Every structure is written in structure tokens, then in C-alpha cells.
Amino acid sequence: MKMERILPFAKNLLDKAIRPGDVVVDATVGNGHDTAFLAELVGETGKVYGFDVQEEAIAATGKRLAEHHLLERVTLFHEGHEQLAAKIPTHDHGKITGAIFNLGYLPGSDKMIVTRPETTIAAIEQLLEMMAPEGIIVLVIYHGHDQGAVERDSLLRYCQQVDQKTAHVLQYQFINQQNNPPFIIAIEKR
């Protein structure tokens, strides 16, 4: 297949936006795969701020980062992503060039603990204030569960109303696949 699948497309967007020395956010660290990817992109002089509400996710991410010798580039917060403006030091506000959200639930974990549209939208709004021009927010939306469908619908409504003078908003999705495959909404600050 020549078209990029969802997760490679998300990484490609981030790779275009992030350079060594940049400040970035993993809003849902999960098992740490994206956190490690971001830590590689920002290099030794950059900074990743990672958020998750589950202690299990913070521990798994810390372990993954330590195994790859990337822990010193990352600050992890056992907090919801709606706390990012309060937790990220003000000296980094205005410098964030990339952020990723993997929405839904932590694979292999309690499926009742899910991301919520109100906290995700609050985090997006905070990021749009804190990001550098041309910074990119990537939302990977997993909507094959009840709360995922609710979050999907809320995010689509919200993102369609983002002022085009504030940001460009893109939806990337395969439309002929079964079982509610994930899709991306990418928001590039103007």
C-alpha cells in the first residue's frame, strides 16, 4: 500500500514539525511509544512533557524511556492533559512545536478509564495558546467503543469550528474499512 497508514502518517506530521532542541507534548503517554519517538526527535537539547491519568501508563513510559536512555529529555506528569498549561513551565509557553493525543483507553488496561471530550478540548485550547506558529497537534481518535464515539463526535464538532485564522485543521481517514478504524485530526497553528 502506498498510502500511509494512520500511525505512520501521525509520525510523519510530527517529524515535519519538530526539530532538535524543540519543546513538545505527549498528552496521553500510554505505553510510551510516542513519548520515546518525540524524545528522539527533540534530541539531547529538547524537552518532552508527558501526561497520563493512569499510574500504570506513567510507570510503563518511564521504563521504556530508561531502556532507551531518553528519560532525561522527558518530564512525566501523573495528571490529565487538561492540566498542561498549569504544569508546563511558563518559560516553555510559546515554544511548543508538536503534540500528540492517542485517545480512547490504554491498551491492555481498564477499558472504563477513557479520555473525555471535555478534557481533550480543554487541552487543545491550552495548546493552541502555548504553541509556536506552525506547531502541530495530532489527535489519533480511536472510536470503536461507546465513549470513543462520543469523544469523536464532540471533537469533530469542536474542530470544525476552529477559526481558520487560528489554525488549519485536517482530517485523515480511511473511509471504507470495517470496525471503526482510528483516524487523525491534525491542527496546525497559524
Q: Tell me the per-residue pLDDT of 7-56, one tens digit each, with 9 for 90 and over.
A: 999 999 999 999 999 999 999 999 999 999 999 999 999 999 999 999 99
Q: Domain boundaries in the chain?
A: 6-189
Q: Tell me the per-residue pLDDT of 94-104, one tens digit each, with 9 for 90 and over.
A: 999 999 999 99
Asked if 24 and 47 count as a contact pair (C-beta separation under 8 A), the reply is: yes
From CA 20, how far away is CA 139, in angstroms rounded? Answer: 22
Centroid of chain to Cα 38: 10
For the segment(s) 6-189, the CATH number from 3.30.420.40, 3.40.50.300, 3.40.50.150, 3.20.20.100 is: 3.40.50.150
Going through the chain in order, the beta strands assigned E by DSSP cover 23-26, 47-51, 74-77, 96-103, 131-141, 167-172, 183-189
How are strands ordered across the β-sheet holding 96-103?
74-77, 47-51, 23-26, 96-103, 131-141, 183-189, 167-172
Amino acid making up residue 164: Q
pTM comes to: 0.96
